Structure 1
Amino acid sequence: MSKREMNWAAIDADPRFQALHAKKTRFLWSLMIISMIYYFLLPFGTAYFGDLFKIQVWGPINVGLVFALSQFIVAWAIAWIYARRANSEFDAMAQDIINDAHNIK
């Protein structure tokens, strides 16, 4: 069966696809909320806790700069967490659906 002959509406209605979509959506929303909170801590921190962010850590490096640079680490960590979860859980669920896609009516 070619891709054009797939019954996409039936695949969308399949409980396995619905479960995959729901799990992935919940997981992605939670990662997005965590990343947004961490992102907005920098402007709120500088606005309301300026004295804390001005503390010198090493030479001209202060807490604010360290916190700003830590956002790269957090972004990489979130990408790693997503990739790990996708590889271990979401891809297996998707592969199960793909393997049976021609039988879904």
Structure 2
Amino acid sequence: MSSPSSHPSPEAEHASWQEIEKRPQFAELLRAKARFVIPATVFFVVYYFALLILVGWYPEVMKKEAFWGMNWAYAFALSQFPMAWILAAIYMKVAAGWDKMAADVIKK
């Protein structure tokens, strides 16, 4: 069992969080995250729903053969897997920078 002194009191934890929240570096961290997360989310949602819209409104186009005997609907649907993987890889790379920024905010 850990000793009571090994954990900060709830008041101390709350006070330190309020202090961190007021720092300009913390505000910059939030802005940096929003600059990536919002456009990436919009891109993902638009890309995802584009398949549904294209299949619904332009079924004849989506039925045409694209390549390897596959039609455009299947090609687009399968393209969503690499798109999600690429987006996740980009997120991981960008988020590593946020981790560094967060560590700097906590240190100060």
TM-score, structure 1 as length reference: 0.83
Matched to 1:12, the amino acid is E
* In the alignment, structure 1 residue 58 sits paired with structure 2 residue 68: yes
Structure 2 spans left out of the alignment, 5+ residues: 1-5
* In the alignment, structure 1 residue 96 sits paired with structure 2 residue 101: no
Number of aligned positions between the proteins = 98
Structure 1 spans left out of the alignment, 5+ residues: 101-105
Provide the aligned C-alpha RMSD in A.
1.7
Residue 27 of structure 1 and its aligned partner are, at CA, apart by 1.1
Alignment of 1:9-24 (within 5 A): 9-24=18-33
Cα distance in 1, alignment partners of residues 33 and 49 from structure 2:
24
Distance 1:30 1:38, change over 3 A: same
Query: RCO greater where, 1 or 2, for CA within 8 Å and sep 6 or more?
Result: 1
Cα distance in 1, alignment partners of residues 87 and 80 from structure 2:
10
Matched to 1:85, the amino acid is V
TM-score, structure 2 as length reference: 0.81
Q: Which has more radius of gyration?
A: 2
- Match of 2:93, SS state, is helix
Cα distance in 2, alignment partners of residues 90 and 19 from structure 1:
10
1:44-75 Cα offsets, whole Å, 9 max, x none, are: 1001221121112323x211011001111111
Runs of 4+ in structure 1 displaced over 6 angstroms? none
Residue 86 of structure 1 and its aligned partner are, at CA, apart by 1.2
